[in-house]
Amino acid sequence: MPGMNKIVLKNLFKKPATRKYPAEKRPFFENGRGQMVFAKMENCIFCGLCSKNCPAKAITVDKAARVNTIDPLKCVQCGYCADACPKDVIIMQSEYYPPQYNKKVRSVKGPAKAPKPDAPTADAPAAQ
Amino acid sequence: MAAETATVDVKCNITFGPQHPVFPEPVQFKLEVVDEKVVGAAPVLGYVHRGIEKAFELNDFKLNPALSAKICGICPSPHTTAYCRGAEMLLGLEAPPRAKYIRVIVNELNRLHSHILWFGLLGDAVGFESYFMQTWNYREKVMDMLEKITGHRVYYATNGVGGVRRDITDTQLREIETLMKAVEEDMGSIADVVKDYTVKKRTQNVGVLTADEALLTGAVGPTLRASGIAKDIRMTGYDAYGEVDFKPQTADSCDAYGRAVVRWKEIYQSIEIIRRCLAQIPKGEIMLKTPNTPKGEAISRTEAPRGELFYYMRGNGTKNLERCKVRTPTYANVWPTVTMLSKGCQIADVAVIVLSIDPCISCTER
Amino acid sequence: MPDPAIDSIAVTKDTLVPETKKLWERKARFAIATCNDLGDKFEIIYHFDDELKVVNLRLQFGLDETAPSIAPVYPAAALIEMEMAELFGVKIEGAKGNFLLTDESPKTPMRKKKKEAA
């Protein structure tokens, strides 16, 4: 193989193309779609848009209990939930979901329902 | 008087697959063999059927690009492009110009990494393992670039109905230009290996498909263009292909070596198309606001690395599609493979013939 | 037919094979056939590619009728006819057998579920 001999000789003197994992981990690029995270739960209003826009039906929103659940084994890391959220609660992180031994889902609790502002009282000054 | 003897050809049945080290995906070919020559073949499919056409009807039509990208792992970009163009035709819209250029850039980067992958599989089919590993190492640079642009190495979900979801920054456009120089240098360093004596002996005059047979059995993609017929869906000028001066690449030898030559030329042509797009890309918005009522029928076709990808879509005014039919290029290339195998090839050539059409069985069975 | 629809030539069970022969003489390439479940009848659209333009032949017939096969003219159509017979339960001449599904799979999964009258 005369054509391949040149490449073999060059590869002898180059550093290897493989990485000594797990001693050396691969750095991830920014803006990657590795996993989704409910990052800013204090802003969540439980509108359910993330759940309606999930093609894999991996997100469950429980408005009564104020709890959001993500099933990491169903998630396909498409990012539609992050685009749909009106309050920027969900962000996509570059690192992949870690492997799991069993099918557990992740739940996060959100803020309690904000009380309604005071209704106008009966003896407010009327325009005369 | 000598007794007359009659000779009878004894046919053996040999099953090739579904698990075979040379096929990337499970497919079975039942071969009828006389001595060492194959005289008939029958494909058996159905090992990875997932029912995706039914799943298209169950979701909101704007969420379906995430599903259509899952049909194939090596060519998700043409699938999402074809779906989004079909949905835009049902709504009566067109994507903005900058979105069209971004779609072309991601499609051509996809074609680059797919053809470099195929050269590696060709080396694997003839037993040339070091060539296989060297090309797959060169492919990593293209996959890293795609991860920077789209966010994931394999599952590029950038296309949305009405445009693209993610923009390419100016820094990334300069990095793509540097990548093109690196790919040219890498492929140039292994150009002599493709013209090597052993590779030519294993692929020349193997899997011959004449021009008439190619047209009448419905071949698509490099399988068709290696028989001298210059047909490519990018000639219709969809997205931004009408503005980059595109010409299809052909070869005349009608065999597996001709298909390797066509894919080699297409690698260099993809580099040229990306360079023209980088020079001409306009500024502007990347996504339109779209209504929720797809109505009517539409046909959208794109050129995947393996051939013509055909989507037929039908909407009835609600936000679920009524029918979405997908015909992938390997589905159209199954009958030409059976024709090629039945002409009397050796058993050792079956792997080279089946790999020369670049089979993607998960696309075929959806 | 939904509005707007694609350009198509309407054929009947008798005119399907003669129209296909005309396309064969023009060296058109057979692309694929699509089956639609319209509730009370089936509709099969045959798509051909003639010099990069799509030509469609539209055939509609009842649920219990048998449609003719174009495999004598275009042998590559045998695959898609087997698939349509299996996934939709359409009766086409000469199309039978398991292609994508197994014996334990649900039968004719692509048919629309009948909505019950309220």
Report which of B200, B18, B123 is spatially closest to residue A7, judged by C-alpha positions.
B123
- Please compute the mean of the pLDDT values over residues A65-72 and round it to a whole number: 88
Q: What confidence tier does B363 reach under pLDDT thresholds 50, 70, 90?
A: confident
Record: contact B49-C2, CB cut-off 8 A:
no
Record: contact A32-B152, CB cut-off 8 A:
yes
pLDDT at A16 > cutoff 90: no
Find chain A residues with C-beta within 8 A of B79's C-beta. Answer: none
pLDDT, tens only, B123-143: 888 888 888 888 898 999 899
Which of C4, C36, C79 lies at the smallest CB-CB distance from B335? Answer: C79
Record: contact A55-B190, CB cut-off 8 A:
no
- What was the pLDDT predicted at B104? 92
pLDDT at B188 > cutoff 90: no
CA distance linking residue C51 with residue B230, whole number of Å = 11
Tell me, yes or no, whether chains C and A touch by having 3 or more C-beta pairs under 8 A.
no
- Please compute the mean of the pLDDT values over residues B25-30 and round it to a whole number: 88
Return the percentage of chain A with pLDDT > 90, whole number: 2
pLDDT at A93 > cutoff 70: yes
Chains contacting A (3 or more CB pairs within 8 Å): B
Weakest-pLDDT range from A67-81, A100-114, B327-341, C52-66: A100-114
Average confidence score pLDDT of chain B:
88
Record: contact B155-A76, CB cut-off 8 A:
yes
pLDDT, tens only, B151-174: 888 998 889 998 999 899 989 999
Q: What confidence tier does A118 reach under pLDDT thresholds 50, 70, 90?
A: low
pLDDT, tens only, B227-247: 888 888 888 888 888 888 888
- Please compute the mean of the pLDDT values over residues B323-348 and round it to a whole number: 89
- What was the pLDDT predicted at A128? 46
**CB-neighbour burial class of residue B263 (10 A; exposed 0-12, middle 13-18, buried 19+):** buried
Q: For testing the chain B interface, which of C3, C21, C32 should be mutated: the one with the most B CBs within 10 Å?
A: C32
CA distance linking residue B315 with residue C60, whole number of Å = 19
pTM of the shown model: 0.91
Record: contact B310-C47, CB cut-off 8 A:
yes
- What was the pLDDT predicted at B110? 92
Beta strands in chain B (DSSP E): 11-16, 28-34, 37-44, 159-160, 163-164, 295-304, 307-316, 321-327, 345-346
Neighbours of B141 (CB within 10 A): 16
Task: Name the token pair of B199.
Answer: 């590779």
CA distance linking residue C32 with residue C36, whole number of Å = 13
pLDDT, tens only, C28-83: 889 899 988 888 888 899 999 888 888 898 988 888 888 888 888 888 888 888 88
Q: At CA B74, angle to CA A11 and CA C55, rounded to 5? A: 140
The 8 Å CB, 24+ separation contacts for A107-113 are A107/A67, A107/A68, A107/A69, A108/A38, A108/A41, A108/A67, A108/A68, A108/A69, A109/A41, A109/A66, A109/A67, A110/A41, A110/A42, A110/A44, A110/A46, A110/A66, A110/A67, A110/A68, A111/A41, A111/A42, A111/A44, A111/A66, A112/A66, A113/A66
Average confidence score pLDDT of chain A:
83
Weakest-pLDDT range from A6-15, B109-118, C105-114: C105-114
CA distance linking residue B24 with residue B47, whole number of Å = 13
Record: contact C45-B312, CB cut-off 8 A:
yes
**Dihedrals phi, psi of C58, to nearest 5 degrees:** -110, 125
CA distance linking residue A31 with residue A79, whole number of Å = 11
Report which of B293, B115, B70, B267 is spatially closest to residue B180, judged by C-alpha positions.
B267
The owner of tokens 């639609």 is: C36
- What was the pLDDT predicted at B202? 87
- Tell how far CA B258 is from the center of its chain: 16
- What was the pLDDT predicted at A110? 76
Peptide bond connecting C109 to the previous residue in cis, omega within 30 degrees of 0: no
**CB-neighbour burial class of residue B133 (10 A; exposed 0-12, middle 13-18, buried 19+):** middle
